[in-house]
């Protein structure tokens, strides 16, 4: 049996992904620029809107900026860079991710509850990439959760490390799928690409962060990320 075959298949998949990303980048950037221009135009007339509408506009602008960064990150998917690493407070990135996903949570009347430790040490990370990870995980939790349920996000300092927990009351994951869910191109969604958690895994490994996804004893899942404090 040729043990190099799986590695070759994996490499070919990444090459295909890279070519696909390169071909789509230009097509995505043009409509994205139009969206951002229109959102900026709406914000210029802020006095016409109520506070909730303005929050939606701000969250949409932040999401558009994130898409712009995701395009770049996708192109660099198989490469490792630490040039954009700096010291950030994880609580600020958590708040941004909750703001971006707030619209989807509101549609299902899901309450996202934050229990963030004050004065938590800053960690050396890429803000854009960790924001991408948190948005992806929170979005998955929202999608898996029933209407009128809760999602709890904790941050705390433990044994010299910074930990983040995202706990939902969703359907949970079967034990066999937990072992496969981070694999490239694996998905149980009808229209899924199977890249979301695979990309998250790649980013967290790049940050040398420990992570674990497990089912809660009662209901839903618990995604834990642990960052080293440098």
CA angle 128/193/208 to nearest 5° reads: 40
Kindly give the confidence (pLDDT) of every residue in the chain, 230 residues in length, as a single tens digit, with 9 standing for 90 and above.
344 445 555 555 555 565 566 566 656 777 877 888 888 888 888 888 888 888 888 888 888 887 877 766 655 554 555 557 899 999 999 999 999 899 889 999 999 999 999 999 999 999 988 998 999 899 989 988 999 999 999 999 988 899 999 999 888 776 666 666 665 444 444 443 334 677 788 889 889 999 888 888 778 889 999 999 97
Give the model's pLDDT for residue 153. Answer: 97
3-state secondary structure of 185: coil
Nearest to 182 by CA among 214, 159, 153: 214
Give the model's pLDDT for residue 188. Answer: 47
Domain coordinates in residue numbering, the chain: 5-75, 86-228
Q: Give the predicted TM-score (pTM) of the model.
A: 0.65
CA angle 127/28/44 to nearest 5° reads: 70
Which of the listed CATH numbers 3.40.50.300, 2.40.50.420, 3.30.565.10, 3.40.50.2020 matches domain 86-228?
A: 3.30.565.10
Give the model's pLDDT for residue 157. Answer: 93
Phi, psi of 7 (to 5 degrees): -65, -40
How buried is 2 (Cβ within 10 angstroms: 0-12 exposed, 13-18 middle, 19+ buried)?
exposed
d(CA 23, CA 122): 37
The residues facing 153 across adjacent strands are 114, 166
Give the model's pLDDT for residue 186. Answer: 41
d(CA 72, CA 83): 14
Residues 140, 218, 162, 120, CA torsion sign = positive
d(CA 96, CA 102): 10
Strand pairing class (86-88; 123-125): antiparallel
Residue 184 region, left (φ>0) first, then alpha (ψ -120 to 50), else beta?
Answer: beta
d(CA 105, CA 142): 6
Determine the distance from the C-alpha atom of residue 185 to the mean position of all C-alpha atoms in its chain, rounded to a whole number: 17
Nearest to 227 by CA among 85, 101, 75, 62: 85
Q: Could you tell me the CA-to-CA distances from 65 to 55, 60, 117 in Å, in that order?
A: 15, 9, 27
């Amino acid at each position: 049996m040729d043990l190099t075959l799986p590695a070759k298949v994996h490499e070919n998949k990444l090459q295909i992904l890279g070519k696909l990303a390169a071909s789509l980048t230009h097509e995505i950037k043009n409509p994205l620029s139009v969206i951002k221009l229109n959102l900026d135009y709406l914000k210029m007339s802020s006095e016409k809107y109520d506070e909730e509408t303005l929050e939606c506009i701000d969250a949409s602008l932040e999401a558009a900026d994130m898409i712009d960064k995701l395009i770049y990150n996708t192109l660099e998917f198989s490469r490792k860079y630490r040039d954009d690493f700096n010291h950030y407070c994880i609580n600020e990135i958590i708040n941004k991710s909750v703001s971006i996903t707030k619209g989807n949570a509101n549609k299902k009347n899901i309450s996202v509850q934050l229990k963030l430790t004050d004065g938590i040490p800053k960690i050396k990370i890429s803000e854009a990439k960790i924001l991408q990870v948190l948005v992806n995980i929170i979005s998955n939790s929202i999608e898996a959760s029933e209407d009128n349920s809760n999602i709890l996000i904790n941050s705390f300092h433990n044994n010299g490390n910074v930990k983040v927990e995202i706990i939902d009351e969703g359907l949970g994951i079967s034990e066999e799928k937990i072992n496969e869910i981070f694999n490239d191109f694996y998905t149980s969604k009808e229209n899924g690409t199977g890249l979301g958690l695979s990309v998250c895994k790649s980013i967290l490994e790049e940050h040398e962060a420990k992570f674990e996804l497990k089912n809660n004893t009662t209901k839903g899942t618990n995604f834990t990320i642990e960052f080293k404090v440098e």
